Structure 1
């Protein structure tokens, strides 16, 4: 049985910059840049679409008797 699942879009905090809109790059010379994921807003829109494929479990070697 296949089942389509869709989650409506919602606004969430950006995980890359933790909602600040800025990321710190560089190891020795620290440089603050605009977050490329949220483009500086600190928020992102998240949505999901997936297909579930559900089947009965039948181990190999098991015989079905009628």
Structure 2
């Protein structure tokens, strides 16, 4: 599993950043390296960062 000794961090993201932050803390308590994308997908889109759906079209955060 990434983040479990192979030198890479898990990157966690959810819609608002709340759930992914909670999971990052939980994983850290179990010595799993994980980072949360602050603000989630809403912040990602607000910053104008690329976001595509499974078909390559512009994604939507609901």
Answer with 1 or 2: which has the greater Rg.
1
Q: TM-score range by the shorter chain?
A: under 0.3
TM norm structure 2: 0.23
Higher fraction of strand:
1
TM-score by length of 1: 0.23
Structure richer in helix, relative to its length: 2
Report 1 or 2 for greater relative contact order, CA contacts < 8 Å, sequence distance ≥ 6: 1
